[in-house]
Copies of this chain bind each other. A is one copy, B any other.
Amino acid sequence: MKITKLTNSITLKRQLESGNEAQLKTVRQVLQDVRENGDQAVRKYSEMWDGFVLEDFRVSQFEIEEALNNFDPQLKKDLEEAAENIRYYHKAQKREDYKLPLADGSWLAQRIIPLDAVGLYVPGGSAAYPSSVLMNVIPAQVAGVRRIVITSPAGKDGKLPPAVLVAASILGVTEIYKVGGAQAIAALAYGTESIAPVDKITGPGNIYVALAKREVFGEVAIDMIAGPSEICVLADDTAYADEVAADLLSQAEHDPLACSVLITTSESLAEEVAEQVENQLNTLPREAIARQSIVNFGQIYIAENMKQAVEAVNSLAPEHLEIMTEKAQDVANEIRHAGAIFLGRYSSEPVGDYFAGTNHVLPTNSTAKFASGLNVDDFIKKSSVVYYSEKTWKENAPKIARLARMEGLEGHARAVESRGWEKGE
């Protein structure tokens, strides 16, 4: 890894894949086709791109039971415990309505209402990510969403990965469709004969899925478009180089575009970590991916002091931040921008990816400056309620009418003034 002296503010930003014209054209065509022709169009594109004919999109109870029966019981228990931890953390995010009394019997309120229906896209391909099922579904369930749908492209055998079905089953989600790609996003957004539409679509996908999500945004809500993963380790000379290196590599192995950064006040740690990264890379199964990431985007910065290091972290606004320093909690209190923070030697980042309870869907590419990880608020919306009594109205109507007239909106003023005429009461 390159080692540099920290001077200016630093940035993680990479040019993200935004799709080309041809891809966008394809996606728009799929969206329109599914909107107009429903199931028939979904079937057509599944056959064309995923290579199998779907009679029934929906995963059967039999398929779910088959997956459960053949699944490693220990892994199932691990998933269940992770789900419990995630539920515990997210339950604390649940909010209540509030009602504020005003004078004369009037009041204002805010109501918290869960979305009616949400859809989670789970990408297909070689690997299965049951942890993503937990991380997306549980906040929606805690929010009180009644209908939660999962959709994912089936493999060549026409089946979904057992781990995904088991994770869904643990959570009680049974509306699962074997549909992928832009056609899945279209079906969720517009609905078809066999798939009712949802109000929000979450979950990652390939470039076609990402483009489709952008296109349907407005019609339905979407989560953020996640970029490649990032980790920043902030360490002093109390940290262990082999542990820091292992954590940097845990993100590098995700994606050639992943970004792993160490910021440290210790020159010797910097050198040892660089050496350890090289050593550990050699035996990593995903060495090729991790090496590309480390070579292109890996970086070690040596800071003059912890204050400078902290400022650099704030300018990075990394997705994941590990703090392995003396008085880690004091240092953490100075951090304003990071998606998720891991404190101390024993809070290795994968602890949060799988198990601790916090969410692993996090803001990337410096968007932690203004965005948050997935949470219960992403699955609710708020309505305000105003109740004015006659007395409150009478007292305030002249003020409201003046303000409306100042803005040139006479109709507004008249509406407020229209009350209270005697009407034979």
Contacts and interface: CB of A to CB of B under 8 A. Distances in A.
Given A348-B418, A348-B419, A358-B386, A412 B250 contact: yes
B414 A250 contact: yes
A284 B396 contact: no
Interface string A236-260: 0000101100110110111000000
14 contacts: A78-B403, A82-B403, A100-B357, A108-B358, A163-B407, A246-B411, A338-B383, A339-B383, A348-B393, A348-B415, A348-B419, A350-B416, A354-B412, A368-B383
A101 B12 CA distance: 33
Interface of A: 74-75, 78-79, 81-82, 88-89, 92-93, 95, 98, 100, 108, 110-111, 113, 115-116, 126-131, 163, 199-200, 218, 220-221, 225, 240, 242-243, 246-247, 249-250, 252-254, 280, 284-286, 290, 329, 332, 335-359, 363, 365, 367-373, 375, 377, 381-390, 392-393, 396, 399-400, 402-404, 406-416, 418-421, 423
A163 B407 CA distance: 9
Interface centre among A108, A338, A388, A421 (most CB of B within 10 A): A388
Nearest to A287: B411
B221 A353 contact: no
A348 B247 CA distance: 58
Given A346-B419, A381-B371, A393-B346, A353 B388 contact: no
A411 B221 contact: no
A353 B404 contact: yes
B411 A347 contact: no
B419 A369 contact: no
B246 A414 contact: yes
A92 B382 CA distance: 13
Given A336-B113, A383-B339, A386-B340, A349 B100 contact: no
